[in-house]
Amino acid sequence: MNYSTFQTVIMERLERDIPDPKHISIQQVTKNNGIVLDGLSIMENDCNISPTLYLNYYYDSYKHGVAFQDVYQSLLRDYQNHRPSTALGEVEPCIKGEYTPGDVRSIFPKEIGDSIEEGVLAFGKKIKGFDRPDAVLSGVESRTSSPVRIVREKDSLEANYKGIYPCGEGAGYAGGITSAAMDGIKVAEAISKKFKKI
């Protein structure tokens, strides 16, 4: 069957097999590298996000000899795996304080959720177990820096409270992990000079 028929049959099967009314659609998605893919979204009634399953990859499997029913079952499994977690597997978070299983995608725009998933899967090819099914993704780090700056003396890098050396992103002296590390080295050198004189 050609790709257009493949898409139609997939849509018909999903509408038949997935319980409860849902909105199922296919939209073209342009990835970061410029490749355009056909993203299948299955939007549940009580949710404003959904996983995107790229039909191009499933069709490639079909073209390379995998039976349609096997391709379809794989697509269904992948859809179910994107549903929010309700319990932990063997991996337990090492977070201090409270946590609860959920769907990380619900706190991000769809494009970011897709990119995180792609990154986790890519690392899984380099680090065994990184992409295991019960892996835990916790916390969100924004790409913003501190909106305030703790004032420090120009030469000693000391704050107006003796012995306090504000540095890095949280103190307003860096905009990311590398510049924060460099600022930390700069402050360590300033402290070293101060105590070298003693």
* Nearest residue to 58 (alpha-carbon basis) of 121, 7, 122, 18: 7
Give me the pLDDT at residue 144, please: 57
Nearest 5°: phi and psi at 23?
A: -95, 115
Terminal Cα distance for the chain, rounded: 82
Do the Cβ atoms of 32 and 2 come closer than 8 Å?
no
pTM > 0.75: no
Give me the pLDDT at residue 56, please: 86
Environment class of residue 52 by beta-carbon count within 10 Å: exposed (0-12), middle (13-18) or buried (19+)? buried
Give me the pLDDT at residue 183, please: 92
3-state secondary structure of 22: strand
User: Which stretches of the chain score pLDDT less than 70?
Assistant: 19-21, 31-33, 44-51, 80-89, 99-110, 133, 139-147, 198
Give me the pLDDT at residue 54, please: 81
* Nearest residue to 148 (alpha-carbon basis) of 171, 176, 126: 171
